[in-house]
């Protein structure tokens, strides 16, 4: 393998060249939002793009580092802000670094034994997600929320339980500001 470089546009969140761009719309994750009536109303008029991920593929072993840039668009489903699906790593003992580039957001994390944590994001915030912590990013601002992610090549994604019941906390807008509330499904 040879050294290489890509161009990360700090304003737009695009990586050029990239190997893949994930485009996640509301219909790809409708059941993950608490307010199903609000989701149905949004889907009836549009199927909004919630986020995009520009990915650079590297060999999927522990010695390599995946890196990708995500753009979460501003918006809400009911009171719940647009967010990533969120995941454990398939190899759970692998960490990740998130670096905020644009906009405002919140990193929500939890362990399998019930610990929860969150970190507010703005440009320059660099969070360390330790092994064994599930992680989800949420756009709590009015503009696009853009962040870089770096994680081991063998980490993989496990959406299983999170796709069914979600995280222990929801992040919703209350009086114009983000608040964490308990997830009634958990």
Count of residues in contact with ligand M6P, rule CB under 6 A: 10
DSSP annotation of 113: T
Contacts for 11 with CB less than 8 Å, ≥ 6 apart: 102
25 binds ligand M6P per the rule CB under 6 A:
no
Q: Is the dihedral of CA 113, 94, 135, 88 positive or negative?
A: negative
CB 100 within 8 A of CB 125: yes
Task: Report in angstroms how near the CB of residue 128 gets to ligand M6P at its nearest.
Answer: 13
Task: Report in angstroms how near the CB of residue 61 gets to ligand M6P at its nearest.
Answer: 16
CB 66 within 8 A of CB 153: yes
Which entry of Zn ion, ligand M6P, none binds 68, CB below 5 to 8 A by partner kind?
ligand M6P
Q: Which stretch binds ligand M6P (CB under 6 A): 40-48, 82-90, 106-114, 174-182?
A: 82-90
Cβ proximity to ligand M6P: between 156 and 176 the closer is 156
Using CB under 6 A, pick the residue from 28, 157, 185, 186 that binds ligand M6P.
157
Residue whose C-alpha is closest to residue 135's, from 67, 82, 178, 85:
85
Which entry of Zn ion, ligand M6P, none binds 86, CB below 5 to 8 A by partner kind?
ligand M6P
Residue whose C-alpha is closest to residue 102's, from 137, 63, 150:
137
84 binds ligand M6P per the rule CB under 6 A:
yes
CB 16 within 8 A of CB 9: yes
Task: Report in angstroms how near the CB of residue 134 gets to Zn ion at its nearest.
Answer: 8
68 binds ligand M6P per the rule CB under 6 A:
yes
Beta-strand pair 126-129/177-182: unpaired
ω before 58 within 30° of 0 (cis)? no
Using CB under 5 A, pick the residue from 13, 82, 83, 96 that binds Zn ion.
96
**Binding region for Zn ion (CB under 5 A):** 96
**Binding region for ligand M6P (CB under 6 A):** 53, 68, 70, 84-87, 96, 149, 157
């Amino acid at each position: 393998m040879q050294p290489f470089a890509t161009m990360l546009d700090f304003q737009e969140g695009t990586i050029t060249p990239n190997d893949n761009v994930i485009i996640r719309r509301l219909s790809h994750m409708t059941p993950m939002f608490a307010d199903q009536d609000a989701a149905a109303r949004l889907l009836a008029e549009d199927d909004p793009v919630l986020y995009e991920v520009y990915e650079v593929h590297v060999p999927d072993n522990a010695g390599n580092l995946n890196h990708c840039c995500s753009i979460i668009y501003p918006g809400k489903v009911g009171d719940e802000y647009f967010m990533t699906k969120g995941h454990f790593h398939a190899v759970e003992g692998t960490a990740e670094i998130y670096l905020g580039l644009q906009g405002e957001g919140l990193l929500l994390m939890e362990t399998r034994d019930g610990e929860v944590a969150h970190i507010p994001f703005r440009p320059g915030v660099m969070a360390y997600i330790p092994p064994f912590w599930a992680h989800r990013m949420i756009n709590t601002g009015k503009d696009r929320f853009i962040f870089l992610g770096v994680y081991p090549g063998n980490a993989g994604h496990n959406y299983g339980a999170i796709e069914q019941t979600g995280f222990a906390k929801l992040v919703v807008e209350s009086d114009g500001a983000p608040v964490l509330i308990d997830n009634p499904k958990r």
